[in-house]
Amino acid sequence: MTNHSTPASGRAVPPSAPSAAGAQADAKTALGWMHTARFLTTAAQLHHLPPMDLPEIAFVGRSNAGKSTCINTLTQQKQLAFASKKPGRTQHINLFSLGRQNTTDAVLADLPGYGYAAVPKDDKIRWQRVMANYLVTRENLTGVVMMCDPRLGLTELDETLLEVIRPRVEQGLKFLVLLTKADKLTRSEGAKALSIARLNAGGGEVKLFSALKRIGIEDTAQLLWQWAHPPQAEAAPDALGSDSATPSDAAAEPPEAD
Ligand SMILES: Nc1nc2c(ncn2[C@@H]2O[C@H](COP(=O)(O)OP(=O)(O)OP(=O)(O)O)[C@@H](O)[C@H]2O)c(=O)[nH]1
Ligand SMILES: [Mg+2]
């Protein structure tokens, strides 16, 4: 796939400063930031995941929905995450660090897909439990990107996952449904899929996405940047009365320009 149009100048572009209304980045900045992604670690079980206190954004969805391809496309790296025609390719939780100049200001998590029929039942149940635990207990989880093939719609397991994360979404967990492989839809099918998914996503954000036709890439990168760089007030909801100009934490501060 020729999807790695490296923003050669991206590294040198200083990110936009967070405005009073909230941190925003232009597409070039957001894609430059995504391009800094590098492999951090892999874990077969939750307790193997390193505890972290940086924003973490998880990609979830049915097997074969396009999670790994989406990560590769957003990060403009061909093989950062394992993508394959064969469903069930991703079998561990794989973490990738993001941040310029070898600092890390956020983490992406590529999760194994669910619903792949050929997986033995016990493995399925085990994995669903790991996934639910991850979504409920991972403290630094800041956002969830649910990848959904609109030709299949939201499956029962997608709905279950939505139920699992609903309490956290109500408490501020960010949530985006990406309707994948949008290249396979006509314009009107795409519009219809968007409105159906918006109804089902309970007010969460929904976008069309295609790695192949490069649909939704910039928007998604910008949204993830925003999630990982919340406005100051959101980053430090209770400053314990501190009125001093404390240095902001790495997650709230835009990375320095090279
Ligand atoms: N047409 C089209 N195919 C895509 C797109 N994104 C992914 N695919 C294909 O879908 C298949 C599955 O992609 P993956 O990224 O491995 O899917 P996954 O969700 O990570 O799958 P698991 O690891 O099994 O959970 C591969 O054959 C990809 O080439 C897209 O935007 N358009
Ligand atoms: Mg995968």
Ligand 1 contact via 63 beta carbon (within 6 Å): yes
User: What integer is the mean pLDDT of 9-28?
Assistant: 53
Is residue 52 assigned to a domain?
yes
Is residue 20 assigned to a domain?
no
Using a CB cutoff of 5 Å, list residues around ligand 2, an ion: 67-68, 89-90
Q: How far is the CA of 29 from the centre of ligand 2 (A)?
A: 26
Ligand 1 contact via 187 beta carbon (within 6 Å): no
Domain hosting residue 204, numbered range: 32-234
Is residue 94 assigned to a domain?
yes
Q: How far is the CA of 249 from the centre of ligand 1 (A)?
A: 35
Is residue 117 assigned to a domain?
yes
CATH number of residue 135's parent domain:
3.40.50.300
Ligand 1 contact via 92 beta carbon (within 6 Å): no
Please state the domain count of the chain. Answer: 1
Is residue 250 assigned to a domain?
no
Q: In which band, very low, low, confident or very high, does the pLDDT at 122 lie, cut at 50, 70 and 90?
A: confident
Is residue 151 assigned to a domain?
yes
Q: Among 3, 80, 84, say which to mutate for ligand 1: greatest number of ligand atoms within 8 Å of CB.
A: 84
User: What integer is the mean pLDDT of 171-197?
Assistant: 95
Nearest CA among 42, 25, 31 for reference residue 9: 31
Q: In which band, very low, low, confident or very high, does the pLDDT at 140 lie, cut at 50, 70 and 90?
A: very high
**Tell me: the pLDDT tens digits for 67-77?**
999 999 999 99
Q: Please write down the HEC assignment for all residues of 187-256.
A: HHHHHHHHHHHHHHCCCCEEEECECCCCECHHHHHHHHHHHHCCCHHHHCCCCCCCCCCCCCCCCCCCCC
